[in-house]
Amino acid sequence: MGIIVNLDVMLAKRKAKLNDLADATGITPQNLSILKTGKAKAVRFSTLEKICEFLECQPGDILEYENNQEEK
Amino acid sequence: MEKILKISKIMKYSLNTIIIILIVAIILLLVIYAGITTTDKGDMLCFGTQLYSSEQLSDIAHYYVEIMHSAIPFQLLTDFWIKSILMFVIIYLGSISCFIYYHLKKLFSLYEQGLIFTIQNIKHIKYIAWGILISAFCRFIFTIGIWFTVNKHINIPLSINSAIPINYILIGVIAYSISLVMEEANKLKEENEMVI
């Protein structure tokens, strides 16, 4: 998939744990794990807003686009 | 959702009862049919394995027996082929009905657990659809078979309506279409689960 989720990178930068994020945003740790591993098919704006609010960052810091075709 | 759970509970228990009744009925039919002969043995009349004296029968029963004897030739009732076909019909259609009811029961027990758009449900609906279509095909073959055998003795007109079980074919096709729709619903459900 061309979209990469850098949630673990941002969590490490903010020195926060996944469970802290889950407690603060109300998103279940299971769902955050799906998001972190890149298995998620879509992210709601409301979820993105909550994550950005907690991590004090922009959506672009969490999501990144990588062109797979160029690599090939 | 509550309505689905309630209906599923009722349907599950009803289908359990129907399956038991059906199995008992198949066994009884086979036992009774295996011994059926309607020949006269002197003053005695034979039904199933029991012998009755014609005096024992009421006037109405006697009337029906006479009608039966005049309408259906003795040769027909003892015909090996018709006996075999009817036995096969009882066993085959009975087992297909049991198969359909079993999967219907499984489907409703899954609904009862709150599992609606799962792969297991789709599998059960597909089995039900194929069961109905196979039973429609068998009914067609058996109707033609019995008609050919009976036609040797009595001239019975064969109508398309009675030969082709249109209702069964329609229900089977609808059930199969529902299973395909459920497959799409399952894909949507899985995608929805991956939306965070």
pLDDT tens for residues B46-69? 554 455 565 555 666 666 666 655
Looking at B8-12, B88-92, B124-128, which range is the least confident one? B88-92
Looking at B32-41, B78-87, B107-116, which range is the least confident one? B32-41
Encode pLDDT of A20-32 as tens digits: 899 988 989 998 8
**Which residues on chain A are in Cβ contact (under 8 Å) with B191?**
41-42
ipTM: 0.71
Nearest CA in chain B to A26: B196
pLDDT tops 80 at residue A34: yes
CB pair distance less than 8 Å for A47 and B191? no
- A31-A33-A38 Cα angle (round to 5): 100
**Which residues on chain B are in Cβ contact (under 8 Å) with A7?**
none
Query: In this structure, are residues B9 and B105 in contact, taking their beta carbons and an 8 Å threshold?
Result: no
* pTM of this prediction exceeds 0.90: no
What pLDDT, on a 0 to 100 scale, did the predictor assign at position B39? 46
B194 touches A at CB < 8 Å:
yes
What pLDDT, on a 0 to 100 scale, did the predictor assign at position B102? 92
Distance (Å, whole) CA B25 – CA B8 = 25
* Residue entry with tokens 């259609």: B93
Produce one character per residue of B136-169: b if its CB has 16 or more CB atoms within 10 Å, e if not. bebbeebbebbeebbeeeeeeeeeeeeeebeebb
